[in-house]
Structure 1
Amino acid sequence: MAIVVEQRENAVAEYKRILAKVLENRPSGTRQRLAVALGKNRSFISQIANPSYATPIPAQHLETIFEICLFPATERRAFLDAYGRAHPGKVERRQRKDHHRLRPVTVYVPDLEDEAKNHALDRLLSDIAARIGKLTED
């Protein structure tokens, strides 16, 4: 039993290393775009891309990660292989669902001249976009 847990932990670290490598090779701002697309903070992106953290990447975020990070085919296959070893059956269940491609939309909003308020507005808009996305999945 302990061997299976260790193998899964190694597979989690492996797919996180692949994500970290892909992120390192992307333009500046990719982590922020990914955080916005997922409706999360940048610290969440740091956790899911750090092999030292055991925090798994939720399966529902995979397509968004692949899309925003522009995963090369080879890295995508390696990532999905490791993800499948770490979380047996989750990739197959996600692939059975109909996925919609994402597209970026730029929205210009007023600067509220307060970092906390601006951040709250950004989160609100991300949440609205995520909820709209969920409506299209049903």
Structure 2
Amino acid sequence: MATIYVDVLVNVAKAIAENNLSKYVFMVDSTGYSGDGSEGSNELKTKCENGDTIVWSAVSINPGEEIAILGFGGQAIPNMVNPQQYPQYDGTVWGGRVNQAGTNVQYNIYMLLEGNVHMSFDPFITATNPQASR
């Protein structure tokens, strides 16, 4: 089983100013997969295997701007994956084990910007069952 890292980079000031988080979210993951056009967008399609762990981390691209992940929802939550906060990171890092296969299953990431603005967006997970060794 692998650990997949998903970085959620946010231009906090622009997202708040325009009341549009989706427009100012840039996502990448550590899978090395490319070619579907979702890399770098708010609609990232993370590919993994059932049993892998996904770790999300939120970062403001502008120093001094506060950002935190408040939680997760949507189709993939809690059956496909049930992320939990890593408390030592003050809400910026969450992780969960993938417990179910599915293709392009949408989920929501609920975020807190500058300590008082709540916003969300909805990327995807595709999890396949591991192939048996022969």
Shorter-chain TM-score tier: under 0.3
- Pick the structure with more helix per residue: 1
TM-score by length of 2: 0.24
TM-score w.r.t. length of structure 1: 0.24
Q: Which has the higher contact order (CA 8 A, sep 6+)?
A: 1
